[in-house]
Structure 1
Amino acid sequence: MFYGVAAWDPWLIIAQIVCLQCLYYITLGLFLAILVGTRVSWLSLVYFFDYATITTSTVSGWCVIASLLLSSVAGAAYMLFFIERAKKCLDFSATLYIIHIFIYIVYGGWPSSITRWIVNGTGIAMTALLGEYLCIRRELQDIPITRYHSSV
């Protein structure tokens, strides 16, 4: 979709980052509403950005972890449509998670929980590897040439 002819287009890169980040948070909000919203009385930004909500000792903590990992899978699918190049998937995955980590450091402080770092590491790996896999599959598809078929 956004893949252009020019090799270096900073506005294109910024637009791709913004689209990917927005879609990631929309998907995360959807998964949090489905998985966590049914278990808590009030769903707030705490579940998005506070590291204390990611815990393996409660069911709602496991639901937050599942929401983050499912959003990582969706982020890989978004890369298929917005990034379209396998060699750029790691860069955009790292950018997505660096921005996410920066936001939740500003919001909730430095995460002292090892669970948060494991979930983020798993999420970035899932997004990058699955995004590269999907983009490579698309890049290796045959180009259909239907105009030159002879009708016999």
Structure 2
Amino acid sequence: MFYGAAVWDPYLIIAQIVCLQCLYYISLGGFTAVLIGTRVSRLSLVYFFDYVTVSTSTVTGWCVIASFTFSSLAGAVFMLYLVQRSRKCLDFSATLYIVHLLICIIYGGLPSSITWWVVNGTGFAVMAWLGEDLCRRRELKEIPISRYRSIV
């Protein structure tokens, strides 16, 4: 990608959003399988989209919270490779969590748990901040220039 080109490409943006959303849910599924799969007899989409499972009163609820937290960290790394621009990380993080909220509303209704809002709000902030930081570090990296230039 050329950073100087200011071309608006909606197909690229939609593809990046879809890829980021898919990678987020794949990582959430992996962390959920590892952390919750050993505690419950059967995994289901309830642990992804139902706000009732995000709870601090049970060990399984804490595992769900940990899964969401680790997935937001992984999402920041995914943005480093997919988005590659620090100024776009906030937009992509917000889009990801808005889409997640809409899916949760369709699946189980509007989340009424304060814990769900805190976990997802914190996940959004961590993903945006860490994604911006990682992308900024990559953008500010020195460009290696060979010491000896060939004279033509």
Q: Is this a same-fold pair by TM over 0.5?
A: yes
CA distance in 1, matches of 2:139, 2:82: 14
In the alignment, which residue of structure 1 is the partner of 2:78? 78
Offset at residue 6 of structure 1 (A)? 4.7
Q: 2:148 aligns to what? A: 149
Query: Match of 2:45?
Result: 45
Deviation by residue 1:38-88 (Cα, 9 ceiling, x = unmatched):
000000000010000000000000000000010000000000000000000
Letter in 1 for 2:106: V
Query: RMSD across aligned C-alpha pairs, in angstroms?
Result: 1.7
Q: Secondary structure at the match of 1:43?
A: coil
Say if 2:56 is the partner of 1:56: yes
In structure 1, what is the equivalent of residue 92 of structure 2? 92
Is the contact between residue 51 and residue 108 of structure 1 (CA under 8 Å) also seen in structure 2?
Answer: yes
Assess, with a 3 A threshold, how the Cα gap between structure 1 residues 2 and 150 changes in structure 2: closer, same or farther. closer
- 1:145 to partner: Cα distance: 1.6
CA distance in 2, matches of 1:44, 1:4: 45
Q: Is the 8 A contact 1:2 1:12 kept in 2?
A: no
2:11 and 2:5 map into 1 onto residues whose CA distance is 13
Equivalent in the alignment of 1:138: 138
TM-score normalised by the chain length of structure 1: 0.94
Structure 2 unaligned spans of 5+: none
1:2–1:20 distance in 2 versus 1, CA, 3 Å? farther
Match in the other structure for 2:20? 20
* 1:56 counterpart SS class: coil
Deviation of 1:5 after TM superposition, in Å, equals 3.7
- Number of the residue aligned with 2:31: 31
Look up the equivalent residue of 2:56 and give its one-letter code. T
| Aligned-residue offset at 1:116 | 0.3
Aligned mates of 1:26, 1:110 — CA distance in 2: 23
Q: Equivalents in 1 of 2:4, 2:69: separation in Å? A: 30
Rounded to whole Å, the distance in 1 between the matches of 2:4 and 2:51 is 38
**Can you list the C-alpha shifts for 1:97-133, whole angstroms capped at 9, x where unaligned?**
0000100110011111000000010000000000000
Gap runs ≥5 in structure 1: none
Provide the C-alpha distance between the structure 1 equivalents of 2:53 and 2:3, rounded to a whole number of angstroms: 37
1:138 is paired with a residue whose SS is: helix
Q: How many residues align?
A: 150
Which residue is 2:65 aligned to?
65
What letter is aligned with 2:96?
L
